[in-house]
Amino acid sequence: MSRFISNNHQKMPRNFNYGSSLRFAGSNALKTNMPGQHHSIAAHSARWKLFCEWAQSQGIKEAHQIKTQTLKQYADYLRARLEGQGKPLAVATAQNRLSTCNVVLRHLRNDQQVSIKPAEALNAQRHHIRTEPPQLSRDKLSAVQALLCKQGHCRISAMLGLCRELGLRTREAALLDCKTALVQANKQGEIDIVRGTKGGRGKSTSTSPSRAERWVPVSTFALHALQTAALLQADSDNLVPKTKSLPAFLSLIRYYSTPILKEQGLTNRHDLRAAYACERYQIITGYKSPVLNKSHHCPKDQDQTARAVIAEELGHHRISVVASYIGALDRKMVHSVYS
């Protein structure tokens, strides 16, 4: 009887036929089932690797061994990290690791029988609410851009302008076809963000054929930023130099822009998106954003409408995320935003 069970077990496809090792199988399943979503695949693969390392320490080497109880045990490990045991961990990071497990196992198993609710399992909420106002001064950004150009990094300078005036992420700014965007801007007064978006947002893939369009309004400042970037783009369809890969270019952006931004009183590139969001909030509501004016707030219904608009323009699905850019109305608002 024991021999029969052993032989039957040997016939079971290892890691659902995606590879001999758990780590490779997970990455292979992502590549197979998420074609074209390179950024998402890379992020999930990195987090899956960390899960595999933990799983191996628990004696788990094969995907069929992973049950819902396994994920609960992994959540307990992550929660202990949140509570100060071992190397510190952010709530968002812990939730993302569990979410990745759900995604990878869904693609490995082709079902959702083994999954976990990250926030519930960790008993922790992601409360990223901005309390320090971003720097809205364009003069300071201009000083940063001038220094970068002086050092021969005009493409990086142009990208910072796109991040500030269109609320783009660094990757999105690097991959934006500014010439096409200029045509859209002149014709429609807004541009559609397609490349470099997170989670496949903004673009059509075989797994998400009906994409959610992401239109961003183009101000006079944004139009100037697009014109500058389009000239530097030359005969290419983005700002990535032909001699560099995208990851290498993104590394150069971090290396050269970060110290100059801080030197000029701008915390980081994310603050450029926050400045965009704060300006958009005032345009939409007529009120300064909560983080800029803590004593005079607009009506809650107008606030919620503005947050929904800004969330779409920044490439987020949840309005709760907008609090990390513009702040929250008050303590009650904090609760309602995250409920």
State the Cα angle at 221 between 216 and 222, rounded to 5°: 30
Residues 50 and 63 in one domain: yes
Among 241, 267, 293, where does a domain finish? 267
Average pLDDT on 299-325 reads 90
pLDDT for residue 137 is more than 90: no
pLDDT for residue 209 is more than 50: no
C-alpha neighbours within 13 Å on the C-beta side of residue 98: 27
pLDDT for residue 9 is more than 60: no
Residues 260 and 279 in one domain: no
The pLDDT, as a whole number, for residue 122 is: 87
DSSP letter at 216? E
- Residue 83 falls within a domain, yes or no? yes
The pLDDT, as a whole number, for residue 334 is: 41
The pLDDT, as a whole number, for residue 128 is: 67
CB neighbours of residue 324 within 10 Å: 19
The pLDDT, as a whole number, for residue 199 is: 53
The pLDDT, as a whole number, for residue 68 is: 95
Cα distance between residue 42 and residue 54, in whole Å: 19
Q: Tokens for 23?
A: 């780590």
Q: Tokens for 16?
A: 């659902």
Average pLDDT on 183-195 reads 94
Number of domains composing the chain? 3
State residue 40 phi and psi, 5-degree precision.
Answer: -65, -40
pLDDT band for position 2 (cuts 50, 70, 90): very low
Give strand pairing partners of 184: none
The pLDDT, as a whole number, for residue 243 is: 93
Among 88, 122, 156, where does a domain finish? 122
Average pLDDT on 190-206 reads 71
Average pLDDT on 29-43 reads 89
CA neighbor of 201 nearest in space, from 33, 103, 315? 315
Residues 261 and 288 in one domain: no
For 194, left (φ over 0), alpha (ψ -120 to 50), or beta?
A: alpha
How far apart, in Å, do the first and last CA atoms of the chain sit? 54
Classify burial at 140, counting beta carbons within 10 Å of its beta carbon; exposed 0-12, middle 13-18, buried 19 or more.
middle
CA 213 to chain centre: 17
Cα distance between residue 145 and residue 156, in whole Å: 8
CB neighbours of residue 261 within 10 Å: 22
Q: What is the pTM of this model?
A: 0.67
43-50 CB contacts, 8 Å cutoff, 24+ apart = 43/100, 44/100, 44/103, 44/104, 47/96, 47/97, 47/100, 48/23, 48/100, 48/101, 48/104, 49/23, 50/97
**Residues 42, 245 contacting (CB under 8 angstroms):** no
pLDDT for residue 234 is more than 60: yes
Average pLDDT on 286-308 reads 88
The pLDDT, as a whole number, for residue 317 is: 73
Residues 211 and 283 in one domain: no
pLDDT for residue 201 is more than 60: no
At 218-229, the pLDDT tens digits run 999 999 999 999
Q: Tokens for 2?
A: 């024991």
pLDDT band for position 133 (cuts 50, 70, 90): low
Residues 184 and 301 in one domain: no
Residues 155 and 261 in one domain: yes
State residue 192 phi and psi, 5-degree precision.
Answer: -100, 120
Residues 23 and 80 in one domain: yes
Residues 89 and 109 in one domain: yes
pLDDT band for position 202 (cuts 50, 70, 90): low
**Domain limits at 15?**
10-122
